[in-house]
A and B are shown apart, each in its own frame.
Chain A
């Protein structure tokens, strides 16, 4: 489904701020995988997802999505097969525009946009139905400006937008990190529900080890620009936080350094 091969990404190359964010990173994501990704601050998790999405060019390596080499495709072209939700709730939606307008923009992902009206009545009833499944009452506020929604509501809406047109791959980068624990839990539930319902392939970065263990069928740990653990199937089901920390210590020879992960 997704094959990332020998990825290198260095920021600020040649300056004193040079940072090797990804070093020879490879991963093979299978159809239907739901991968949770953990790792310390600056481990390269966001960089990996951003490279897959084409936010910036990579230095070396290749990225293939369903037999299409996308390594040199610009971000907006790759977006046609990707769904993305970001850590910052402001990033995923246009705040000056209404809920239904945002959904209409997302509904046309991958289609040619022309001079027909930006939203049709038929779509409106579809959006209403889909919003209902979120259970947040947003279906009653279709024309409300997204800027007036709470962070949790915005993330749930972004999630819906990312999956309204079924993506080949869903990329979630700490999409619950900016939310309070209760809202985070709710958004995670919605995430699970949507991924199951549409049978999506997904990669989810989280700083919460418990969430990483609880969700998905596969867990990846990153450290200093490399994937140091890749746990699957039965092993994944049996994981505990302690076992995970222990394995991290053995592989990296360090203590796990992500304050947020340890506190939560």
Chain B
């Protein structure tokens, strides 16, 4: 039991980095970016290929970061320069990345059983695999939250936030919104790829399918975080995302434990997210029901 929970927490922390990436596009830029499905796999693929080639595991994560940023840049150019709608731009990059990732790995599944990973130094200190992943996850997430809190408070960060809110106003203030959108996409996908690299090192393999449905997992985590811990202030928002990602994994661990077949997981997640996204509509509907029933007498 304890192992299930620590396993879920460690996975949640690694996915939290991806969740923060999704938050940057979905909430800050107001774009549903499907690139992430490809860039998370890309991060895993790059890290795995690097590790099997004997590259330092930390360096492998940095390489993954750059790979993800490149993917984001590609989507950004499709969207801002070629004026392809954001959703479609993301899908195009995602599809393209499928081939790219296969080329990077040279196979559809790359094992890392014998490779050195970022978790090993902590395991050498006596931590078991899950706890080592929790420690690494916590360190990464803390650094990331601190950097992003700083970044989105800077002049550049502020205009990126404003771009998702009101691009008209941002252009009227002399800022090139094409550029701010591209920066956001690059940053987001870089983080998603880092997450993929860490996950691959933790599960000790990279698989071409591992990104499938990841956008929905990211959205589910964002929404859970917002619903359960919604507060004002950017810092608490970032922290709520991390908690959302962890809680999502704990929930999944429990429904699996309760006997739901693993194959139904994606269906379950998709339905949960659909319901969560529709909550405002349900609320509105209930309110009009209430009003109309009061209006009768």
Is there a chain A Cβ closer than 8 Å to B159's Cβ?
A: yes
Instruction: Give the contacts of A71-90 with B (CB-CB under 8 A).
Output: 74-77, 79-80, 82, 84, 86, 90
Binary flags per residue of B157-183, CB closer than 8 Å to A gives 1, else 0: 111011001101111111111000000
Is there a chain B Cβ closer than 8 Å to A118's Cβ?
A: yes
Across the two chains, which residue of chain B brings its CB closest to A91? B168
From residue B147, how far is it (CB to closest CB) to chain A in Å?
Answer: 11
With beta carbons under 8 angstroms apart, the residue of A96, A104, A117 that contacts B165 is A96
| Interface secondary structure of B, over-half rule | helix
Across the two chains, which residue of chain A brings its CB closest to B157? A118
Is there a chain A Cβ closer than 8 Å to B153's Cβ?
A: yes
Give every chain A residue within 8 A of B169 (Cβ-Cβ). Answer: 91-94, 105
Q: In the bound complex, do residue A76 and residue B158 qualify as a contact, i.e. CB atoms below 8 Å apart? A: no
Is there a chain B Cβ closer than 8 Å to A14's Cβ?
A: no
Is there a chain A Cβ closer than 8 Å to B212's Cβ?
A: no
A91-B166, A114-B155, A115-B156 as given contacts; A97 in contact with B174, CB under 8 Å: no
Q: In the bound complex, do residue A113 and residue B156 qualify as a contact, i.e. CB atoms below 8 Å apart? A: yes
Give every chain A residue within 8 A of B153 (Cβ-Cβ). Answer: 117-118
For the complex, what is the distance from the CA of A190 to the CA of B171, rounded to whole Å? 24
From residue B9, how far is it (CB to closest CB) to chain A in Å?
Answer: 31
Q: In the bound complex, do residue A76 and residue B162 qualify as a contact, i.e. CB atoms below 8 Å apart? A: no
Is there a chain A Cβ closer than 8 Å to B287's Cβ?
A: no
Binary flags per residue of B84-102, CB closer than 8 Å to A gives 1, else 0: 0000000000000000000
Q: In the bound complex, do residue B154 and residue A79 qualify as a contact, i.e. CB atoms below 8 Å apart? A: no
Q: In the bound complex, do residue A105 and residue B156 qualify as a contact, i.e. CB atoms below 8 Å apart? A: no
Q: In the bound complex, do residue A116 and residue B161 qualify as a contact, i.e. CB atoms below 8 Å apart? A: no
Give every chain B residue within 8 A of A77 (Cβ-Cβ). Answer: 174
With beta carbons under 8 angstroms apart, the residue of B158, B173, B176, B177 that contacts A109 is B173
Across the two chains, which residue of chain A brings its CB closest to B153? A118
Give the total number of A-B pairs whose CB atoms are below 8 A apart: 81
For the complex, what is the distance from the CA of A92 to the CA of B167, rounded to whole Å? 10
Is there a chain B Cβ closer than 8 Å to A106's Cβ?
A: yes
Q: In the bound complex, do residue B162 and residue A105 qualify as a contact, i.e. CB atoms below 8 Å apart? A: yes
Is there a chain B Cβ closer than 8 Å to A110's Cβ?
A: yes
A104-B158, A105-B159, A116-B155 as given contacts; A90 in contact with B174, CB under 8 Å: no
Q: In the bound complex, do residue A76 and residue B166 qualify as a contact, i.e. CB atoms below 8 Å apart? A: no
Give every chain B residue within 8 A of A92 (Cβ-Cβ). Answer: 168-169, 172
Q: In the bound complex, do residue A105 and residue B170 qualify as a contact, i.e. CB atoms below 8 Å apart? A: yes
Q: In the bound complex, do residue B173 and residue A108 qualify as a contact, i.e. CB atoms below 8 Å apart? A: yes
Across the two chains, which residue of chain B brings its CB closest to A115? B154
With beta carbons under 8 angstroms apart, the residue of A74, A80, A114 that contacts B156 is A114
Give every chain A residue within 8 A of B165 (Cβ-Cβ). Answer: 94-97
Give every chain A residue within 8 A of B158 (Cβ-Cβ). Answer: 97, 101, 104-105, 118-119
Across the two chains, which residue of chain A brings its CB closest to B27? A96
For the complex, what is the distance from the CA of A150 to the CA of B224, rounded to whole Å? 32
Q: In the bound complex, do residue A75 and residue B171 qualify as a contact, i.e. CB atoms below 8 Å apart? A: yes
Across the two chains, which residue of chain B brings its CB closest to A80? B174
Across the two chains, which residue of chain B brings its CB closest to A88? B168
Give every chain B residue within 8 A of A74 (Cβ-Cβ). Answer: 176
Give every chain B residue within 8 A of A161 (Cβ-Cβ). Answer: 173
Instruction: Give the contacts of B112-168 with A (CB-CB under 8 A).
Output: 151, 153-159, 161-162, 165-166, 168
For the complex, what is the distance from the CA of A93 to the CA of B172, rounded to whole Å? 10
Give every chain B residue within 8 A of A91 (Cβ-Cβ). Answer: 166, 168-169
Known pairs A94-B170, A105-B170 / 19 extra A-B pairs, C-beta < 8 Å: A76-B171, A76-B174, A76-B177, A80-B174, A94-B161, A95-B165, A96-B165, A101-B158, A105-B162, A108-B174, A113-B155, A113-B159, A113-B175, A116-B154, A116-B155, A117-B153, A117-B155, A119-B158, A161-B173
Chain A to chain B contacts (Cβ below 8 Å), 9 pairs: A53-B172, A74-B176, A79-B171, A79-B175, A92-B169, A93-B166, A97-B162, A105-B158, A115-B155
Which residues on B are within 8 Å of A, measured CB to CB? 151, 153-159, 161-162, 165-166, 168-177
